[in-house]
Structure 1
């Protein structure tokens, strides 16, 4: 108990003098809401971004004493070959799914499992976000998402799954806390919060 308090005090003192930074790669098929989510993380407000990301965007977001360096990667087929380059060395790979566009689930699954097989990306945690949960017909049940995308087959890394809505901010604070927890120096979640890990 005393050592835990001491560790928290030490972490707090370090946070006063040292900037903590983590790097994320946000990927997924086009129109999944990646840029909208990144903008929501940065500004705290929802704005619908209808302009597709060409190549990539880089954003820096400060949350909970941590600066998130976020690579927002284009989802069009011609840009998917670049994903690996921007995922190397990041703290977390964030895969965003349009949870309503069921016709493209098989493509999303194929692209996700293919990128995760790259040896250079082994052991990097995966945060799978099924976005647009506010829309009718969206895939929102975490167990169904895990099954549909065969996420239990991923053995070489930690995997967490959340159903989110950028528009309604559903699970956005929980996702941000999960990200901060996966910084090099994790921040403890409150005991009443649960991760939808696999």
Structure 2
């Protein structure tokens, strides 16, 4: 059985804590709770254990975020599909803090809150725009997943991919 530190980055209120709650308890907390600094939970998927580090998304936690990232083998960067511009301006910061403090084997991009989207929203276009910005700053493309922590849709998909990588 492997054990990996997985850090989850993203702006405030993109659903990082909700994703972890869905994974660890299979429940969705309707009330928003601010993560102060970091919160750590353990999650097992297909005999692989993950230490899930929920890193607070507020700018005031930027100074300590690097410390919490150290030792991360996996990083998820979470964006909110219902507010597509939120977080894009922070991509250069994410690159800097990851490169300075962690050497992840894998970085996945999660587009959360798919349940809030109307039929008219151009989800594909928004994802392509963000993916292009990520490629511009990181110099490579990342695997991405569209998820809904509220409905539980797609939340296991990143772990399915990880399970094939870490066999």
Range of TM-score over shorter length: 0.7 to 0.9
User: Once superposed, what is the RMSD of the aligned Cα atoms?
Assistant: 2.4
CA offset at residue 103 of structure 1? Answer: 4.3
Residue 55 of structure 2 is aligned to residue 64 of structure 1? no
Q: Does 1:140 align with 2:144?
A: no
Q: CA deviation at 1:174?
A: 1.3
- SS state of the match for residue 113, structure 1? helix
State the partner residue of 1:168. 151
C-alpha displacement at 1:144, in angstroms? Answer: 4.3
Match of 1:190 in 2: none
Matches within 5 A, 1:29-40: 29-40=11-22
Which of 74, 89, 94 is 2:56 aligned to? 74
- Structure 2: where are the runs of 5+ without partners? none
- Per the normalisation by structure 1, the TM-score is 0.71
User: Residues 95-134 of structure 1: matches in 2 within 5 Å?
Assistant: 95-116=77-98, 118-122=99-103, 124-134=105-115
2:163 maps to 180
Higher relative contact order (CA 8 A, sep 6+): 2
- Report how far residue 98 of structure 1 moved: 1.4
Mark the runs of 5 or more structure 1 residues left unpaired by the alignment: 1-18, 188-198
Aligned residues of 2:9 and 2:76 also touching (Cα < 8 A): yes
TM-score (norm 2): 0.83
Say how many residue pairs are matched.
Answer: 163
Q: Indicate whether 1:88 and 2:87 are aligned.
A: no
Q: Which has the larger radius of gyration?
A: 1
Cα distance in 1 between the residues matched to 2:82 and 2:60: 23
Partner of 1:151: 134
Given the superposition, is the C-alpha separation of residues 139 and 168 from structure 1 closer, same or farther in structure 2, using an over 3 Å criterion?
farther
Q: CA deviation at 1:21?
A: 1.0
In structure 2, what is the Cα distance between the partners aligned to 1:32 and 1:139?
A: 18
